Structure 1
Amino acid sequence: MRVFHELTRRTGIHGAPHPVRRTPYDKAALVAKHVAGIVTRSPFPGRYDALVVPHPRKPNGVEIYTDELRRTLGDNALILDSGINGTPLPGSKNLDFFTSAAGAIHPRTTDDRGIGSALEKLTGVRVPVGAILAREVPKHLRLRALYRALLKRHRIKTVYVVVAYFHQHIVGAARDLGIRVVELQHGAISPFHLGYSYPGRPAVADQPDELWCFGSYWTDVADLPAGMRTEVIGATFLPKPGPKDPNRVVFLSQGTVGAELIRTADAVAKQHPELEIVYRLHPSERPEDYTIPDGIHLSTSGSTLDLLATATYQVGVSTTALFEGMALGCRTAVADLPGHEYLDPAIAKGHAALMTRPAELTQAPLCDDPSSYYAPNNLSRLAAQQPQ
């Protein structure tokens, strides 16, 4: 994933997906939190049956993907929530000091066995694969050993993790000990997502045993690694659609294509002056990232889901929010920008339309099978039935 993001950034196809911006003060404060956390947030004391690793993003302070799971597991679960790129959940523990320290000392570069040269020959872009390997491999091995000790200390039976492909040291540690690993879906899955798509379903190291999905659509939209099973847990976090404003259009931004999408929003605003064009920033974006044209309302506060519940139209590229908007009764137009291929299966089903011209927005379809993307909530029953 790191090589892919670096490649797309250097080619200019995408911007940074989730940019992290820290001032010198922010960095100093983070170091202080790390040091204090060794004592105040250590996960080693106590005894637990399950480990839960939530998502760092928490709209309005709620981590929506594991919220119900944590309630179901109760005090039997150790909540390990990093504060490096977000605010940790109250009462959670972390190993942030060791996470940062594990990557602090490493060689500047290493032999990439010709991968960098082969990639450059294929794409015309030089990516520092050797430097990425030199940093990431020692960090992975150090953290993997640390998490093995943690899992053995508590005799953990099941690890529940969100975004497993960025926590492979935890998944690998569990695999080393024969501990079951369950990943909870957090976003869109497609044949183009390097975290989930392995054409031909080969055996892949350090992968979860199970992937718990929002709906049946996600269980076979991509070739998962060999042996990975799927379960449908439904949607635990979608609100009910509210009264629809017939003129409201919500553009769903992403850091990767935001600059191009704002131009599309401007073109739609000029084509349809009767419509209210709302440009909704991704949580990792900031208002100063963009110059907002006249006739477009910038939205940064409140819930994206609540906003979509009142919208008649939604426009985006590859964001998961497009699927959420389908379930909330929005007519869906996919902007013809890099990454729109993520929505190809939904477009083929007639649940969305590829918008190549602004005039095509008002012809966007409604999804007639939203439960295939977000089924009724089944998480509590599934979690309660299985060994922790």
Structure 2
Amino acid sequence: MRVFHELTRRSGIHGEPHPVRRTRSDKARLVGKHVAGVATRNPFLATGTYDALVVPHPRKPGGVEIYTDRLRAELGPSALVLDSGINGTPLTGSRNLDFFTSAAGAIRSRSVDAKCATVADALEALTGVKVPIGALVAREIPKHVRLRTIYRALLRRHRIKTVYAVVAYFHQHLVGAARDLGIPVVELQHGAISPYHLGYSYPGRPAVPDQPDELWCFGSYWTTVAELPAGMATRVVGAPYLPPPGAKDPDRVVFLSQGTIGPSLLEFAADFAAARPELDVVFRLHPSEHPTDYTVPAGSKLRISAGPSESTLDLQSTAAYQVGVSTTALFEGMATGCRTAVAELPGHEYLQPVVDRGDALLAADGASLAARLDDAPVCADSTVYYSPDQLTSALKASAR
């Protein structure tokens, strides 16, 4: 996944998916938080035993971590919540190993396997892009080994019986530690899955180390859209955080941005707004994007929306139309009744199965979408993407 991000960024195909910017003072404060956290948020110092370990998503719109909110409520005090504060604000009452995580990544290997140069040269010959494979390996492999050892000790310390994690492909040290001890790992879906997502798609279903035992999905669509690693089962649990469809404003069109293609989508949206000046066109930034990176063309009626003053889901619940490329928010908008169009920009392939199902319209540019806006469909059955809530029954079944 890290190699893929480097490759697409250096080639100019994508921007940073989740850009993080810190000044020197920000970094100093973060170090201070890490040091203080050793005493105040250290999970090794937590008393008692726990049945489960829960690792939420770092993103928390309105202070709520939507992917594990219901799970944590169901598990109650039987769950130890491990929530990093490195790229966000940790949940109240949670613990973290941020000091150890940062320290493990700061110490790099001095020797680099000769295979790294061979792989880097082969990748450059194939793509024309040089990716620092050696530097990535020198940092990530030792970090993985160190953190895996620490997490094994933590799981033993609290006699954890089940691990629940969001974005497991960035927590392979934890998954590997649990696997070392025979502890089952459940990943909770957090975003769109497709044959092009390197965190989930393994054509031919080979055996892959350090993968969760189960993937709990929003709906049945996600259980078959990509070939998961061998041995990984799926279960549909729904998405209880989604609001019901609301009253629609027939003139509102919301564009859903994301860091990988934001500037290109803004140009697309500006062309659309110029062709349809009678519409209320809103360009909604992803939570990880920075408003200062975007400027609306002079004279355009396009409005940029960012921050917590209005949520993405609130905008979608009132918008008649939504446009995006590969963001998960498009699926959420389908569940809230939006007519959906996919902009034909890098990454739109994620949504091709949805277009093929007839649940979205593929548009080459803003002008052509303006002419065909009324052809954008409403999803015929959004329950295939987001089923009714089945979390309680899933927990009961997994406890047997």
Normalising by structure 2, what TM-score? Answer: 0.96
Q: Secondary structure at the match of 1:230?
A: strand
- The answer (yes or no) to whether the contact 2:152–2:181 under 8 Å persists in 1 is yes
Q: CA RMSD in A?
A: 1.0
Q: Is the aligned partner of 1:4 residue 2:4?
A: yes
The Cα offsets for residues 117-148 of structure 1, whole Å up to 9 and x where unpaired, read as 11001001100000000000000000000000
- Structure 1 residues 295 and 108: CA distance shift in structure 2, 3 A: farther
Q: How does 1:1-388 map to 2 (within 5 A)?
A: 1-44=1-44, 45-46=46-47, 47-107=49-109, 110-111=112-113, 113=115, 114-293=118-297, 294-300=300-306, 301-356=309-364, 357-358=368-369, 359-387=371-399
For the Cα contact (< 8 Å) 2:109–2:142, is it kept in 1? no
- Work out the CA distance in 2 between the residues paired with 1:315 and 1:64: 23
Residues 186 and 216, structure 2, Cα contact 8 Å, conserved in 1: yes
Contact kept? 1:56, 1:88, Cα under 8 Å:
yes
Find the residue that maps to 2:399 and give its secondary structure.
coil
Per-residue CA deviations over 1:83-113 (Å, capped at 9, x if unaligned) read 0001000000000000000011113661351
Given that 1:157 and 1:387 are in contact with CA atoms closer than 8 Å, whether structure 2 keeps it comes out as no
Give the whole-Å Cα distance in 1 for the aligned partners of 2:303 and 2:83.
34
Structure 1 runs not aligned, ≥5 long = none
Q: Do 1:159 and 1:180's aligned partners in 2 also have CA atoms closer than 8 Å?
A: yes
Q: 1:271 Cα shift?
A: 1.1
Q: How far apart, in 1, do the equivalents of 2:392 and 2:304 lie?
A: 37
Q: In 2, Cα distance between the equivalents of 1:95 and 1:275? A: 48
Deviations 1:172-208 (A, max 9, x none): 0000000000000000000000000000000000000
Q: Is the 8 A contact 2:169 2:199 kept in 1?
A: yes
CA shift for structure 1 position 302? 2.2
- CA distance in 1: counterparts of 2:156 and 2:270, whole angstroms: 56
Amino acid at match of 1:168: Q
More divergent stretch after superposition (56-65 vs 39-48): 39-48
Which moved further from structure 2: 378-387 or 287-296?
378-387
- Measure the CA separation in 1 of the matches of 2:184 and 2:290: 39
| Matched residue SS, 1:103 | helix
Report the 3-state secondary structure (helix = DSSP H, G, I; strand = E; otherwise coil) of the residue aligned with 2:243: coil
Unaligned stretches of 5+ residues in structure 2? none
What displacement does 1:286 show? 1.2
Q: Following the alignment from structure 1 to structure 2, what is the Cα–Cα distance between the partners of residues 208 and 103?
A: 23
Contact 1:60 1:302 in 2 (8 A): no
The CA distance in 2 between the partners of 1:23 and 1:124, in whole Å, is: 33
- The answer as to whether partners of 1:109 and 1:130 remain within 8 angstroms in 2 is no
Residues 8 and 14, structure 2, Cα contact 8 Å, conserved in 1 = yes
Q: Distance in 1 between matches of 2:396 and 2:305?
A: 39
- The count of corresponding residues between Structure 1 and Structure 2 is 388
User: What is the TM-score normalised by the length of structure 1?
Assistant: 0.98
More off after superposition, 296-305 vs 120-129: 296-305
